[in-house]
């Protein structure tokens, strides 16, 4: 029996009820299918990884770019897809809501709304507006009982405001405003993570891990419900590509091509 969008959304919600799972971030259809092949139970888009794949800088993709990308990911795999929906591609709450409605129609099982403005002079939205944006997204998701899981993100640690008290205050406000899951990319220490988990309990917390550090088991022990890796898988792939390409361009040699993945294995995986 075909897996429906409703099935994916129901599965995704159940995954957030207990335990800890990894939500890896593919950047295109091929990487999404590879992650499904490897046995992951859900995936999440990455704004940065996708942007690089179409030759743009992070936070420079358009709403239309992202909607097409999300539709392609959702159609490519039988897994729930959580959308990195950046700041909702609008400032005003009502416009965020309208864009969320379009994202829901792509088939995603979850989506995140962050509170960064993109303005270096004022990197976070005013708290009241940030909360209204979450409320608007919640109302739009619930308008047709879609079952999409809403993630509230506080970007303080990523925009130079590494104030844990501020971040926790915002996350708890987003939880009260209707966010199902809370996310503070940039927190790293066990003390920071434990404090966030405690503050928003019983709602689940997403932890970003983009470098060697905590294991899944250690994050689970801290109460983390899910782990994502952001653009790190894309960066790993780009690292191999750039090493090999630079060697050819600068040295005229092809040594790095010997470390490529097996084409036969890729063909087998995608057949």
At residue 187, does pLDDT exceed 80?
yes
> pLDDT confidence of 2, banded at 50, 70, 90?
confident
Over range 8-27, report the average pLDDT. Answer: 98
Residue 67 has pLDDT above 80, yes or no: yes
Q: Tell whether the model's pLDDT for residue 116 goes beyond 80.
A: yes
Same-domain check for residues 122 and 153: yes
Alpha carbons within 13 A on the beta-carbon side of 110: 30
Q: 126 and 243, same structural domain?
A: no
Same domain, 223 and 266: no
198 pLDDT above the threshold of 80: yes
| Full domain range(s) for residue 239 | 232-271
**Neighbour-count burial for 184-223, b at 16+ CB within 10 Å, e otherwise:** bbbbeeeebbbbbbebbeebbbbbbbbeeebeeeebbebb
Mean pLDDT computed over 170-178: 98
Nearest CA among 54, 49, 79 for reference residue 65: 54
> How much is the pLDDT for 238?
98
Which residues, listed in sequence order, are joined to residue 112 by a DSSP beta bridge? 84, 151
Q: What is the DSSP letter of 119?
A: -
**Same domain, residue pair 258 and 144:** no
Judgement on whether residues 80 and 212 belong to the same structural domain of the protein: yes
Domain holding 23: CATH number? 3.20.20.60
pTM equals: 0.96
Domain count for the chain: 2
In this structure, are 205 and 248 located in the same domain?
no
Q: Are residues 16 and 52 in the same domain?
A: yes
Are residues 256 and 246 in contact, defined by beta-carbon separation less than 8 angstroms?
Answer: no
- Map residue 212 onto helix, strand or coil: coil
The answer, yes or no, to whether the previous bond of 19 is cis (omega within 30 of 0) is: no
**Tokens 């506080």 belong to residue:** 154
Distance CA 72, CA 26 (A): 12
Considering the domain architecture, whether residues 237 and 130 belong to the same structural domain is answered as no
Are 159 and 254 contained in the same domain? no
Across the range 107-120, mean pLDDT stands at 97
Question: Is residue 158 located within the same domain as residue 260?
Answer: no
Q: Which neighbouring-strand residues pair with 244?
A: none
Do 39 and 150 share a domain, yes or no? yes
Instruction: Please determine, for residue 99, whether its predicted confidence score (pLDDT) is greater than 80.
Output: yes
| Pair 203, 99 in one domain | yes
Q: pLDDT averaged over the chain?
A: 97
The radius of gyration computed from the CA coordinates of the chain, to the nearest angstrom, equals: 19
**Is pLDDT at 1 greater than 80 in this prediction?**
no
C-alpha distances (whole Å) from 85 to each of 32, 50, 163, 245 are: 17, 12, 24, 32
pLDDT of residue 13: 98
Encoded tokens for 116: 């960064």
Asked if residue 164 has pLDDT above 80, the reply is yes
């Amino acid at each position: 029996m075909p897996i429906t969008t409703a099935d994916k959304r129901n599965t995704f919600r159940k995954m957030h009820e207990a335990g800890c799972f990894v939500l890896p971030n593919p950047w295109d259809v091929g990487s999404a299918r590879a992650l499904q092949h490897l046995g992951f139970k859900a995936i999440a888009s990455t704004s940065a990884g996708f942007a690089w794949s179409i030759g743009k800088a992070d936070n420079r993709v358009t709403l239309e770019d992202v909607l097409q990308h999300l539709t392609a990911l959702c159609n490519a795999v039988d897994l729930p897809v959580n959308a990195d929906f950046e700041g909702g591609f609008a400032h005003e709450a009502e416009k965020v809501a309208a864009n969320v409605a379009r994202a829901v129609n792509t088939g995603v099982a979850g989506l995140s709304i962050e509170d960064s403005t993109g303005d270096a002079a004022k990197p976070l939205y005013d708290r009241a507006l940030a909360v209204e944006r979450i409320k608007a997204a919640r109302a739009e998701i619930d308008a047709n009982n879609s079952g999409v899981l809403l993630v509230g993100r506080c970007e303080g640690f990523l925009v130079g405001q590494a104030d844990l008290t501020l971040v926790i205050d915002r996350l708890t406000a987003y939880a009260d405003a209707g966010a199902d899951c809370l996310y503070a990319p940039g927190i790293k220490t066990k003390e920071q993570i434990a404090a966030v988990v405690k503050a928003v309990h019983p709602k689940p917390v997403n932890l970003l891990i983009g470098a060697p550090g905590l294991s899944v088991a250690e994050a689970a022990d801290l109460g983390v419900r899910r782990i994502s890796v952001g653009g790190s898988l894309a960066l790993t792939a780009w690292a191999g590509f750039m090493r090999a390409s630079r060697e050819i361009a600068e040295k005229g040699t092809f040594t790095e091509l010997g470390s490529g993945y097996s084409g036969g294995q890729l063909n087998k995986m995608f057949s």
